[in-house]
Amino acid sequence: MEKKIIRVGSVGLGGIWNGVHQPGIDRSPDLELTAICDIDEKKLNETGERLGIDPAHRFLDYHDLINCPDVDAVDICTPNDVHFPVAMAAVEAGKPYDVEKPVTMTAEEADILAKATEEKGLPNMVCFSYRFKAAARFAKDLIARGKIGQVYHVDMQYFQAWGLPRAECPLVWRYVKKHTGSGALGDLGCHALDLVRFVLDKEYTRVVGHTGTYVNERKLLDGSGTGPVDVDDFCNYMADMEDGVSASFQITRFAFGRGNYQRMEIYGSEGAIVYSLDAHQGVDDEIEVCSGDINAEAHAYTSLHIPEYYYSDQMQSFADIVNGKWDGKAARIQDGQANQHVVDAILESAESGGWVSL
Ligand code: SOE
């Protein structure tokens, strides 16, 4: 079969695009970067020069990129408030898209985007990146094969440190509600929610959450003073899931010494699994398992070698989805939509102080 090269137009040339999307597009034999868009003209031109994108394919307005005949698929890496309009414009133009998380600012927007995408039958992907971690895929498979029996508990931590006062991070968009929606919750907590749902293959039924902010003012980017932080620095929540699973989460940007640390402990009737990320220097994702009578008695958790089979790549998965070869694992808009409903419910619960049903 002839291999189809997908010509990609990327919108939003910030950290996540430079660190993850662009290298991923570059790695994939099925993707070719043909157009770029950013509201920052200097960044746009510097990026275009660096990557050899000719000036006619550098756009300040995302509508122009989407309507460009040399763009087959749209790659959306903007701040959160722009995900929805760009994705909707891609759908209206009948172009497949991938979009960063959280998919939208509200569940209402996510519902509209999911419906419009479904109506057009467009290939799409939501960038819940940790679904591509081999340890997470291995854990998911072990649970699906019944290796730890009935799951009772899952406990997930997602910790970073860049909010701490000593890091002196200015008022970037991730601290401004009108651009980000929520803080640590929408940025890190949405990954945690998705990863637990993915690994366990169960839906959330109700949540209760608590959010807080430690640093209420940060330096403005232009150096003209300070501005208010109006989103959460940390967020802790509990959730009930289908089939009696009781889940708890701790999410913060104030965890000293942490980079991009995640830990998910899953306890079942016949065994337990611990997934971790960035727990040891120079090591990415890891999995430990305790199963069988001898290990249970000895409280022995064994680190497992992860078979090659579980390795995958985010941008290659997008190429595969556009080429009609979804692996059944990468997140799609319905996953982003479900995620956004839980994020909104946690925010509602943090306001009201009570449980919110889904
Ligand atoms: C924030 O620091 C961030 O870059 C998130 O926005 C990403 O989604 C996460 O994967 C890594 O951390």
In the reported structure, the alpha carbon of residue 174 is separated from the centroid of ligand 1 by a whole-number distance in angstroms of 10
Give a yes or no: residue 44 inside a domain.
yes
Does residue 6 have a pLDDT over 70? yes
**Mean pLDDT, residues 141-150 taken together:** 98
Query: Which residue segment(s) compose the domain that 28 sits in?
Result: 6-129+315-328
Please, which residues have CB within 8 angstroms of residue 325's CB and are 6 or more apart in sequence?
A: none
Ligand 1 pocket test, pick from 83, 260, 278 with the greatest ligand atom count within 8 Å of Cβ, gives: 260
Confidence class for position 1, pLDDT limits 50, 70, 90 = very low
Task: Identify the residue with better confidence: 124 or 2.
Answer: 124
Residue closest by Cα to atom 10 of ligand 1: 129
Handedness of CA 308, 311, 316, 319 (dihedral sign): positive
Q: Which tens digits make up the pLDDT trace of 87-112?
A: 999 999 999 999 999 999 999 999 99
Give the rounded distance of the alpha carbon of 101 from its chain centre. Answer: 5
Overall number of domains in the chain = 2
Give a yes or no: residue 66 inside a domain.
yes
Q: Are strands 226-228 and 234-241 parallel, antiparallel or unpaired?
A: unpaired
Tell whether 103 and 189 lie within a shared domain.
no
Atom in ligand 1 nearest the alpha carbon of residue 129: 10
Q: What angle do CA 163, 284, 158 make, to 5 degrees?
A: 35
Are the C-beta atoms of 245 and 195 separated by less than 8 Å? Answer: no
Q: Which tens digits make up the pLDDT trace of 23-80?
A: 999 999 999 999 999 999 999 999 999 999 999 999 999 999 999 999 999 999 999 9
Give the rounded distance of the alpha carbon of 152 from its chain centre. Answer: 25
Give a yes or no: residue 335 inside a domain.
no
What percentage of the chain exceeds 90 in pLDDT? 99
Q: Which tens digits make up the pLDDT trace of 322-332?
A: 999 999 999 99
Tell whether 238 and 276 lie within a shared domain.
yes
Assign 56 to helix, strand or coil.
helix
Ligand 1 pocket test, pick from 187, 253, 254, 277 with the greatest ligand atom count within 8 Å of Cβ, gives: 187
At residue 41, the pLDDT reads 98
Tell whether 118 and 151 lie within a shared domain.
no
Q: Token pair for residue 65?
A: 């990129």
Domain harbouring 345, CATH code: 3.30.360.10
Does residue 4 have a pLDDT over 90? no
Q: What angle do CA 147, 153, 158 make, to 5 degrees?
A: 105
Q: Which tens digits make up the pLDDT trace of 210-252?
A: 999 999 999 999 999 999 999 999 999 999 999 999 999 999 9
- Ligand 1 pocket at CB < 6 A: 16, 129, 160, 187, 191, 260
Domain harbouring 28, CATH code: 3.40.50.720
Q: Which tens digits make up the pLDDT trace of 186-200?
A: 999 999 999 999 999
What percentage of the chain exceeds 70 in pLDDT? 99
At residue 3, the pLDDT reads 56
Tell whether 43 and 120 lie within a shared domain.
yes
Tell whether 103 and 137 lie within a shared domain.
no
Tell whether 46 and 139 lie within a shared domain.
no
Rg of the chain in Å (alpha carbons): 21
Q: Which tens digits make up the pLDDT trace of 251-277?
A: 999 999 999 999 999 999 999 999 999
Are the C-beta atoms of 248 and 216 separated by less than 8 Å? Answer: no
Tell whether 150 and 23 lie within a shared domain.
no
Residue closest by Cα to atom 4 of ligand 1: 16
Helix (H) or strand (E) holding 249: strand 246-252
The C-alpha atoms of residue 189 and residue 235 are separated, in whole angstroms, by 8
Tell whether 275 and 146 lie within a shared domain.
yes
Give a yes or no: residue 334 inside a domain.
no
User: What pTM was computed for the model?
Assistant: 0.97
| Mean pLDDT of all residues belonging to the chain | 97
> H helices of the chain, where?
15-16, 22-27, 41-51, 62-67, 80-92, 107-120, 134-144, 177-180, 184, 190-200, 293-298, 314-322, 333-352
Tell whether 11 and 66 lie within a shared domain.
yes
In the reported structure, the alpha carbon of residue 62 is separated from the centroid of ligand 1 by a whole-number distance in angstroms of 23
In the reported structure, the alpha carbon of residue 267 is separated from the centroid of ligand 1 by a whole-number distance in angstroms of 27
